[in-house]
A and B are shown apart, each in its own frame.
Chain A
Amino acid sequence: MGETFVQKAFGNRIGKKLKVNEIVFLEPDYILTHDNTAAIIKKLDEVKSDIKVKYPDRLVIILDHVIPASSEKTALNHKEIREFVKKQGIKNFYDIGRGICHQVLPEEGFAKPAGIVVGSDSHTCTYGAFSCLGTGIDRTEAAGLWITGQTWFKVPESFKISLKGKFRKGVSAKDLILTIIGDLGADGANYVSVEFHGDSLQHLDIDSRMTIANMGVEMGAKFALFPPDDILKNHFKSRGWDFSIPVAWSDKDAEYSLIKEYELSEIVPCVSKPHAVDKYSSVKDLQGLFFEQYLIGTCTNGRISDIEVTSKILKGKKISANVRLLVLPASSEIYSEASRAGFLADLAEAGATILPPGCGPCLGAHQGVLAPGEKCLSTANRNFKGRMGCKDSEIYLASSETVAASALKGVLTDPREVL
């Protein structure tokens, strides 16, 4: 019997073949924390005062969730983090303005094929786009890892999702992953390593892969993995990085607890309805629904391709008079690229509010919180009740194409009508 990618990647680290459900102790390559670093620092003190982090170079700290600080409390958090970074000699620190952690960490080259990255953030699974085993842990476990450098992992079972064909115009990776989650359910892949296979991968660029992997956790997945193929290799080369793959992609005869196939040409623009990500509807079935606020950004869809398609739809036009559109490039790199290409100017002229590269209103802490009774159409990954700060508001999730087209018309609109 062959092995899945996670079996190989874990097994390679300890030099033995691993069975599903086996428990192994491993040292992750990197431990990601963000604004929650401030709370984790306090946990270190609980264990022992003046404790030294075991491997300071394995910490990656990125300030992104509430930036710039929205209150004295969040400002103090940031300050404490900066002091800790100095004191512990942490070199992989990215202060406010650099971008959302899940965009910045790969841009800085920390997400490598067969690497292990844990983060005290559930969307750490995004790094599966780079064949990297990324997964979320809590703050306490991050503190434990800072001290000991290692933690336990259960070798998960795996799903194989095969992708065939090409998207039709106006349809993108977000529609695919919302469809998959709609099918499998919010716990459909709980504890599972989900692998993506099939001919379509040659058409799925890094941005698309990141959108899909990012949402793996919305169906409970531990990992959401793409193969270390030519697209990934070219991405690494284009950034001047070495491309080495310590282990090969999963074997043809590996064991999967579920195998599923999707034909991309059959995927249509869709939304996920409140208050659960697996509540699927096609855009057509809800066409005309009114939203006060539209959001393009977050670690799911704040990349250059998202901003480009938004500007393509809105350039030279104005968003509907009754609505607000927020656009957040996911990182400083994307921000400057979008700026140089003129996309941001196009969007500002169309009436969008451009926010700094960060999480913005995604978690309801600041910058675009909803009022009771309001609805938001968002490219984010989560539409839980209260997620954008008000439990009496509603969030629908969609692709950048759909959000941009809808902001233009002022109601839910199939992007194929305007593209």
Chain B
Amino acid sequence: MAIFAYIQDDINTDLLYPGKYTYLGTKPSDIKEHLLEDLDPTFKDRVKNGDIIIAGKNFGCGSSREQPNVGLKYVGIQAIIAKSFSRIFFRSATNQGLLLIELPAVVDAYKEGDFIEIDSKKGVVLLNNTQFNFPALPTEMQNILKAGGLLEYIKENLK
């Protein structure tokens, strides 16, 4: 499991998935080709299932485009830990079944080479040997996450 640390604030949706591609590919595999292109062009080739992203505040600000979330879920990102998330991005990640954790203390304490483990059920992030708790999401969001995303949630409820 690798940790991709982008410790900067205001990482926006254009950095995560440039606007010029928004009407081209919509399949997750197409999205992967340009994922984080202007932030870290090597990301798409290095990322593996279970990896974690760490970032500063206001992660995902800007457009309502969901390709960053769709792409990050597809490549298997386990969670994004940031100081804070922008509103539309937060909602959208949940809709894709992608776990976001707001924990400024972890971001501040993180150093290259550190080890991170996440227990989403207990709401705990373990950074090396230190435990950090994060608050439970509202029930509505938990239900969507549990189903694996909003459309899966709706599918279950249509039955």
Contact = CB atoms under 8 A, between A and B. Distances in A.
Interface string A73-91: 1100100000000000000
Interface stretch (A42-50, A311-319, A331-339, A346-354): A42-50
A53 to B, nearest CB: 13
A187 B20 contact: no
B10 A186 contact: yes
Nearest to A364: B20
A213 B88 CA distance: 16
A179 B107 CA distance: 30
B62 A122 contact: yes
Given A143-B151, A152-B138, A187-B61, 13 more contacts: A23-B138, A39-B26, A65-B23, A73-B24, A122-B64, A138-B65, A141-B150, A144-B151, A154-B138, A186-B61, A220-B61, A364-B18, A382-B63
A220 B87 contact: yes
B69 interface: yes
B62 A47 contact: no
Interface of B: 9-10, 12-15, 18-20, 22-24, 26, 38, 57-58, 61-66, 69, 84, 86-88, 91-92, 95-96, 138-140, 149-151, 154-155, 158
A148 B14 CA distance: 30
Interface of A: 23, 35-36, 38-39, 42-43, 46-48, 65-66, 73-74, 77, 119-122, 124, 136-141, 143-144, 147-148, 152, 154, 186-187, 190-191, 217, 220, 222, 276, 363-365, 369, 382, 384-387, 389, 391
B23 A384 contact: no
20 contacts: A36-B22, A38-B26, A42-B26, A47-B155, A65-B23, A66-B23, A73-B24, A136-B88, A140-B149, A140-B150, A144-B151, A152-B140, A187-B9, A187-B61, A190-B58, A220-B86, A276-B10, A363-B22, A384-B13, A389-B18
Contacts of A42: 26
Given A36-B22, A138-B66, A385-B14, A147 B154 contact: yes
A42 B23 CA distance: 13
**Residue of B64, B155, B158 with highest tally of chain A CB at under 10 A:** B64
Nearest to B95: A140
Contacts of A139: 65-66
A386 B64 contact: no
Contacts of A187: 9-10, 57-58, 61, 84, 86
Given A48-B158, A187-B84, A363-B19, A141 B58 contact: no
B131 to A, nearest CB: 26
A140 B138 contact: no
Contacts, number: 132
Nearest to B41: A391
A391 B69 CA distance: 21
Contacts of A144: 95, 150-151, 154
B14 A190 contact: no
Nearest to B14: A384
A141 B22 contact: no
Contacts of A66: 23
Contacts of B139: 23
B83 to A, nearest CB: 9
Contacts of A154: 138
A148 B151 CA distance: 11
Contact of A138 (B18, B57, B95): B95
Nearest to A187: B58
Contacts of B38: 385-386, 391
A36 B138 contact: no
Contacts of B150: 140-141, 143-144
A276 B61 CA distance: 11
Contacts of A365: 19-20, 22-23
Given A46-B151, A363-B20, A120 B87 contact: no
Contacts of A386: 14-15, 18-20, 38
Nearest to B20: A364
Contact of A136 (B15, B58, B64): B64
A154 B58 CA distance: 19
B63 A122 contact: yes
